[in-house]
Structure 1
């Protein structure tokens, strides 16, 4: 994974979002955030969208993180808001963590402890996703 000096800029919006969460959940999301910021390509932007941290490239939302009503951490890997032709598109998930809502929209939903346990695998998946 990338060194801290290679991380994309932190968003004050995301800082405030994390400050508003319970300590344990904020810690899990902060660790995940650091991993994502460390592997995101130059030019990626961190912001808040859909009530959670979001990572965009060239103005296209690619990864959105949040929590669901059951207390799970939800990571959505997508190719933007608009429908994109997914014919011929594929992405290999060798971890089995991703549930595919569409051919090009994957969701990981795990308890915070599971997110921590699988953090490195998740960050590698996100790094590959952001480089598509």
Structure 2
């Protein structure tokens, strides 16, 4: 499935009018800036990010007061090697050997953790 351009994601988010719109926009920019190969589209009714068509991160927009970012390894059932992702700031909440989440309460929260998040994302993308 070809990725839709970011303008489609923009249109989706404008139509959605989520209360955390500023957080979502800041998080999108932070994720895309982590690696020039990262592209995005809509998957599971939310912005989703991929490298070479392999999805690795999807936002969850169910709550009005925060944005959840789910890191995963795509549709294939795979497991990350133990200690594959260095997370010195303790950003990740592990849900299993193949998925973790991060929660952001606002755009300043994203900005504050931007550098650490990008470091985690670069490591994660290496395993996709």
The TM-score normalised by the length of structure 2 is 0.77
**Structure 1 residue 15 corresponds to structure 2 residue 4:** no
Distance 1:119 1:22 in 2: 24
Question: 1:10 Cα deviation (Å)?
Answer: 5.2
CA deviation string 1:84-113 (max 9, x = no partner): 144557212111111001122111123225
- Residue matched to 1:46: 40
The gaps in structure 2 that reach 5 residues or longer are none
* 8 Å Cα contact 2:69/2:101 also seen in 1: yes
* 8 Å Cα contact 1:45/1:56 also seen in 2: yes
* 8 Å Cα contact 1:89/1:103 also seen in 2: no
Distance 2:103 2:62 in 1: 8
Give the 3 Å change call, closer, same or farther, for CA 121–85 of structure 1 in structure 2: closer
Question: 1:45 Cα deviation (Å)?
Answer: 2.6
Tell me how large the CA RMSD over aligned residues is: 2.5
Question: 1:22 Cα deviation (Å)?
Answer: 4.2
Q: 2:109 aligns with which of 110, 114, 125?
A: 114
Distance 1:83 1:31 in 2: 30
Q: Which has the higher contact order (CA 8 A, sep 6+)?
A: 2
Question: 1:23 Cα deviation (Å)?
Answer: 7.1
**Structure 1 residue 57 corresponds to structure 2 residue 51:** yes
Question: 1:66 Cα deviation (Å)?
Answer: 2.8
Distance 1:86 1:131 in 2: 11
